[in-house]
Amino acid sequence: MLLSELDLFLFGEGTHRRLWEFLGAHPLPERGVRFAVWAPNADAVFVMGDWNGWTDGTALQPQGASGIWAGVCADAAVGQCYKYAVVAGGRTTMKADPMARQSEVPPANASVVPAVSTHRWADGDWMARRSRADGAPLRIYEVHLGSWRPWVTNYRELGEELAEHVQALGFTHVELLPLAEHPYAPSWGYQVTGYFSPTARFGSPDDLRACVDALHARSIGVLMDWVPAHFPKDDWSLARFDGTALYEHADPRQGEHPDWGTYVFNYGRTEVRNFLVSNALYWLDEFHMDGLRVDAVASMLYLDYSRSAGEWVPNKFGGRENLDAVDFLRQMTSAVAAEHPTAMVIAEESTAWPQVTAQVEHGGLGFTHKWNMGWMHDTLGYMRHESIHRNWHHHELTFGLLYAFSERFVLPLSHDEVVHGKGSLLNKMPGDDWQRFANLRALYAWMWALPGAKLLFMGAELAPFTEWAENSGLPWHLLDHAAHRGVRDLLAEINRRCGSWPALYERDHDPMGFQWLDADDAENSTFSFLRWGHAGASAVACVANFTPVPRAGQRVGVPWAGQWELLVDTDSPAWGGSGFSGYSLEGTMIPADPDMSWQNQPASVVVDLPPLSVVWLGSRRP
């Protein structure tokens, strides 16, 4: 046999963590290429490609009872295109390689024999010091490479320009929408046909490695969206790969996604779980990704997700939980934790499923973080209300703090909130143009002061009037206008302040790091709270006014006397505000009165609270 007994055994057992090293196309040292593909129900499998004119296929041979077919094509070479001709039930279907590590540029869809990587990683220091632990800052800039700067079309250039931009804004990480190959550009990469193949739209796999290296050189982590929930029905890809439902369930009540018109993976099949777990490790191993954001986890966890009665199959206990998917997710997060203990695995999970970020050995799913979709929904709902009505919706900003520490949350304002008719963030804000910009600046400073990691979709720093469209670039010209430039500059400033005040991140997932000062002033739509650093060594007070009525002489409780530094005032003229308070952005110190306790604090400060604004004050314990 062409493949080792150990590889075949581990594959059959479902524990082979490096499938890409023995399945797929592998150039041989002297001449030719070895091909191997899993197709257990095929009657025959041939390899067709550029070297044989796509007419005289090379027959692959079964490798024992593994369901894998393998063979060597002596005339095949690096860079040539190929597909498998899979014969099943008297029908031959041309299939791209599920394990292809390189593909043609869409809309072409053949697999490509990959070259051995010649990239020499230069990110050893970064890889040694990166962290997924509590206390490490996590501020994420979410990016769709195809429309970020569409005139920049190669991974290498994108890496350099993106690194410069993200570093200037002060984010700690980028999150790239799915990089795996996909035929339909408006799916943004979420309908994957090449799980092991970086999209060829922006260059070669080594070009992508160079992109990641460039970001790491600027101390910017790289996360990637990963899509193990479903895959498209294109007949040249995974769908009915060997004439049967191989990767997907045969029963449409389990194997088809009603919302997306896609197939759902069969998580109960050992080889399918192995394929996906190995794929997660592939991106971390081969491309030095610092983590995976796992898409559509809720759709995996529930058998009745988006299905009506009679359209789903209960589990063996009669429940709606997808037990096979739970097992897969735990297997995947455990494998990542074992092999890449400093890599993150972030769940986009929109329900109240318990212990998403608890360790597997404690009954959890093992994710390092979870998107807080409830916070996003409530916060944007509140901000949409006209200020005169916000007093009736006060709880929408306070409710999230009741469960803020039940998981390790990321607070997201993602691409999903600015597409498909939802409007841009700016256009969600009420009032005239001045008020809309003020509301948006206040939203960002409010969000950044709350506990939890932060995520913002690209372009939000430009405050565009229109929602995102993947077929056009971001409106960078808006930075020629002061109001838009002010939003960008404010965002950079709050990121800078977060970086220098650990109270704003090092206890993001610790309830002792947050304390309400006043959560009940619904009548005036004001809020105030404290963020605490480790051991109470420092504190930041956040005060918010979500009405256009300025509030002079607002008293705020603080934990000690002395000077409190003005860190952020979203109403500063530097950002496009009114300058109501008259505070200077640099060096303004506000004394705390030790003889006036307030809001259950031993001291207090008095601030002039501008309209539609958020103010931060910081101090280190004397």
Residues assigned a catalytic role: 295, 348
| Alpha-carbon gap, residue 18 to 8, rounded angstroms | 12
CB 82 within 8 A of CB 113: yes
DSSP 3-state assignment of 403?
coil
* CA-to-CA dists, residue 592 to 519, 560, 619, angstroms: 21, 7, 10
Could you give the 3-state DSSP secondary structure of residue 530?
A: strand
Are residues 66 and 6 in contact, defined by beta-carbon separation less than 8 angstroms?
no
- Tokens representing 368 are 């390092």
Give the separation between CA 455 and CA 448, rounded to whole angstroms: 10
What is the rounded distance in angstroms from the CA atom of residue 494 to the CA atom of residue 509?
A: 20
Q: How far is CA 78 from CA 22, 29, 34, 231, in A?
A: 16, 11, 11, 28
Alpha helix positions (H), 454-581:
482-500
Which CA distances in Å does 73 have to 27, 30, 32, 49, 387? 10, 12, 5, 10, 70
CA dihedral 470, 472, 477, 483 (to 10 degrees): -40
Residue 150 phi, psi (nearest 5): -65, -15
Which bin fits 363, alpha (ψ -120 to 50), beta or left (φ > 0)? left
